[in-house]
Amino acid sequence: MVSVKLYEKVMTMRSRTRNQINAQKLLLSKWTDVNPQAKEKHFLVTKLIDPEQPKNLIELVELEAVLTKRRFAMRWAELTDATKWRQGWQ
């Protein structure tokens, strides 16, 4: 498991189409897919994936579907799109 690294910059954009995310608290956060497929609606961030270059900030996270336990990697910034993701389990 990757240790949580301090980020120089935290996403603070606020609008209807963006979720506000504190990158330092991303690990183990809960998310709801707005358009669920195969009954996979609720997800948990289970891992922060280290970049290939140690000097770079973490860009990828691993999400796990609560129901099926399926895991996949995605850019953490995609979670800010409120048309696709909601914070928490709803």
Provide the pLDDT for residue 19: 78
Provide the pLDDT for residue 55: 76
Arithmetic mean of pLDDT, 44-53: 88
- The strand order across the sheet containing 60-65 reads 71-75, 60-65, 40-49, 30-37, 85-87
Residue 63, strand partner residues: 45, 72
Taking the domains of the chain in order of start, what are their residue ranges? 23-87
> Under 8 Å CB-to-CB from 85, ≥6 apart: which residues?
19, 31, 32, 33, 34, 78, 79
Does the pTM exceed 0.85?
A: no
Spacing of C-alpha 77 from chain mean position: 7
pLDDT value at 50 more than 90: no
43 — alpha (psi -120 to 50), left (phi > 0) or beta? beta
Average pLDDT, the chain: 81
Q: Round to whole Å and give the CA distance between 59 and 16.
A: 23
Q: Which of 2-6, 37-41, 63-67, 77-81 has the lowest mean pLDDT?
A: 2-6
pLDDT tier at 16 (50, 70, 90 boundaries)?
low
CB 24 within 8 A of CB 4: yes
